[in-house]
Homo-oligomer: A and B are copies of this chain.
Amino acid sequence: MEYKFSNKLASLKPSAIREIFKSLSDPTIISFAAGNPSPLSFPVKDLADLSADIFANSAASALQYGTTEGYTPLRKAVEERLKNRFSINTNGNETIITTGGQQGIELACKALCNEGDAVICENPSFIGALNAFRSNGAQTIGVPLADEGIDPEKLEKTIISTPNAKILYLIPTFQNPAGVTSTLENRKKVYEIAKKYGIIIIEDNPYGELRFSGTDVPTYKSMDTENIVIYCSSFSKILSSGMRVGFVCGPEEIVSKMVVAKQVEDVHTNLFFQMLCHRFMTERDLDGHIAGIRKLYGEKCTLMLGELDKKMPKCIKYTRPEGGLFIWCTLPDGISSSEYIKAALSRKVAVVPGTAFNCDTEAPSDSFRLNYSMPSDEDIVKGVDILAKLAKEMFVK
């Protein structure tokens, strides 16, 4: 029988990142292609101890169905942290637990967008979010991302020319893939524009805890006087990515719709690990643990930037992140990066092509993404060396 698929999924291809991941089964490849946290960031001993205690004392509830909104003590602990760490006023908002940060983004779009509606995004942007919007039949419209954030004028023009725009999707801090953090001034302007046109902002902040240099910039949610920001984040980069525990803090009315949508997607998030997150947050030293991850990633990023500074030809530009997991590199003269990336892979170094992060899936890209959280120090030195030699051969006359 010939199967017929829904229009919204028919066009959706498995992500380029996943395809690259599959090629990574070759252990001789140096991978800068990951989006994974370092396994050193998992507090294994503490999680094991708390887990044993949950099995011993709370198994009957931990293994049973829970509520869709999430485990109440965890929701409260997350709210407290949002207040204390990110100055987020949660009045008029609801905090729920999601199956990773990914689900929060997807549910927000499902609650707000009809097919044919548009989501305006930084270009480049996180492929998982772009595909979540597309899977709901929404268009993704890009506004170019610069070092200070997206250009407010271009944003306003795009909104005016996109009457069906419902959502503005932003990763303002340590952006994936670009690694840049938008300035406070930029955020204020962008917020005013969203407010003026009645556009809901999804603020995706999975890396917000991972600053290793510079100073924090206030989140959009902390300045959300109009209650138009849905804040999505997760424990993936600070406790465990494989456990799939994230959270959303957003306007009550919107979040209650997202809860209805979540109920039919997975009923609720793994309850045992929700309890584990709560126990870790309230009984162990979360801040001390995060400080360790920051130090680790700061050292790895410094190493990779140092190697790039030493070895890369000057015609290759790259961002200088103050946190997060990624450096974004751009080839000279708008040259498409696809040949370079293919050649790098044949020399056993994997990076992610910029095309994977394009709002317009057909557009070429002159860029690629480097990850520094996963490779060893030795591989960082060796891999950048290979990339730099290749760049000299290809782009230095």
Contacts and interface: CB of A to CB of B under 8 A. Distances in A.
Contacts of A61: 242
Interface in A35-63: 35-37, 39, 42, 44, 47-48, 51-52, 55-56, 59-63
Contacts of A211: none
5 contacts: A6-B113, A14-B259, A21-B67, A63-B242, A135-B264
Interface in A260-297: 260-261, 263-273
A335 interface: no
A3 B100 contact: no
Name the residue among A35, A137, A244 with the largest chain B CB count within 10 angstroms.
A244
Contacts of A132: 264-265
Name the residue among A9, A61, A136, A269 with the largest chain B CB count within 10 angstroms.
A9
B48 A63 contact: no
Given A1-B226, A39-B63, A266 B100 contact: yes
A263 B131 contact: yes
Interface string A226-263: 11100000001001111110000001011011011101
A265 B265 contact: yes
Contacts of A137: 115
Copies in the complex: 2
Given A243-B63, A272-B243, A263 B100 contact: no
Given A15-B263, A103-B266, A110 B135 contact: yes
B48 A64 contact: no
Contacts of A243: 63, 270-272
B135 A261 contact: yes
B266 A6 contact: no
Given A6-B113, A39-B60, 16 more contacts: A6-B111, A8-B110, A36-B65, A42-B59, A44-B60, A51-B52, A99-B99, A100-B267, A103-B266, A115-B137, A242-B268, A242-B270, A244-B268, A244-B269, A265-B265, A266-B266
Interface in A88-122: 99-100, 102-103, 106, 110-115, 117
A316 B263 CA distance: 33
A267 B128 contact: yes
Given A42-B63, A62-B242, A114 B269 contact: no
Interface residues of A, number: 87
B48 A56 contact: yes
A17 to B, nearest CB: 10
A242 B65 contact: yes
A98 B163 CA distance: 37
A391 to B, nearest CB: 29
A18 interface: yes
Nearest to A42: B63
A64 B39 contact: yes
Contacts of A113: 6
A215 interface: no
A4 B3 CA distance: 34
Q: Which 8 A/B pairs are nearest by Cβ-Cβ distance?
A: A48-B55, A242-B271, A63-B240, A99-B266, A39-B60, A132-B264, A270-B270, A44-B59
